[in-house]
Amino acid sequence: MIGRLTGTLAEKSPPQILIDVNGIGYEVDVPMSTFYNLPHLGERVTLHTHFVVREDAQLLYGFLTPAERETFRQLIRITGVGPRIALAVLSGMSAGELAQAVSTQQAGRLVKVPGIGKKTAERLLLELKGKLGPDLALPGAAVQTDAQSDIVQALIALGYNEKEAAAAIKLLPVDIGVSDGIKAALKSLAK
């Protein structure tokens, strides 16, 4: 019902802000990724919103980009994930980082978000697979094949961090098998 708000930023009290739109103050809950990028108090702001009507409350959630709002909407469709958990996910990682984590099936990145346990992370990965558009992927991040994803997971299991694993697979041919890929990646990381 309320799809976008443009007005003056009147108050900031994480995770909630108050936007004055022609004399009417809208209380809007925002993820920290949006909160940190807001203008100063008294300046104009435009937020893409998601309006939730419950039996006991009417809540408005705001996002700086349509991609963040769409990701939020995908998250709240998942059983057991409400708006608070969805905001926590978007506060802990950007929409692009979430899309990347889902495409590479990295539950470890989701478990780092407060309020997300291992089972919830696995459910998110399962239910979001294929639903977060490729336009949300991190800029410059190549879409990984299943074999490349398996190689990355193996390297992480062996104690390498995500950056090291991602750098190692960039050096590998796209059509390499999992076992050969792991061996080649380990050789490049040993240098």
What pLDDT was estimated at residue 127?
Answer: 87
Residue ranges of the chain with pLDDT lower than 70? 133-146
Question: Other C-beta atoms within 10 Å of 169: how many?
Answer: 23
Q: Could you tell me the two tokens for 120?
A: 């919830």
DSSP annotation of 159 reads T
What pLDDT was estimated at residue 146?
Answer: 64
What pLDDT was estimated at residue 136?
Answer: 45
Q: What is the pLDDT of residues 55-88, one digit of tens each?
A: 998 999 999 989 899 999 999 998 888 899 999 9
DSSP annotation of 113 reads S
Nearest to 122 by CA among 101, 96, 147: 101
Find the distance separating the first CA and the last CA of the chain, reported in whole Å.
57
Question: Other C-beta atoms within 10 Å of 59: how many?
Answer: 13
Q: What is the mean pLDDT of the chain?
A: 84
> Rounded to two decimals, what is the model's pTM?
0.67
What pLDDT was estimated at residue 61?
Answer: 95
CA separation, residue 15 to residues 34, 42, 69 (Å) = 9, 18, 16
Taking the C-alpha atoms of residue 105 and residue 102, their distance in angstroms, rounded to an integer, is 5
What pLDDT was estimated at residue 128?
Answer: 86
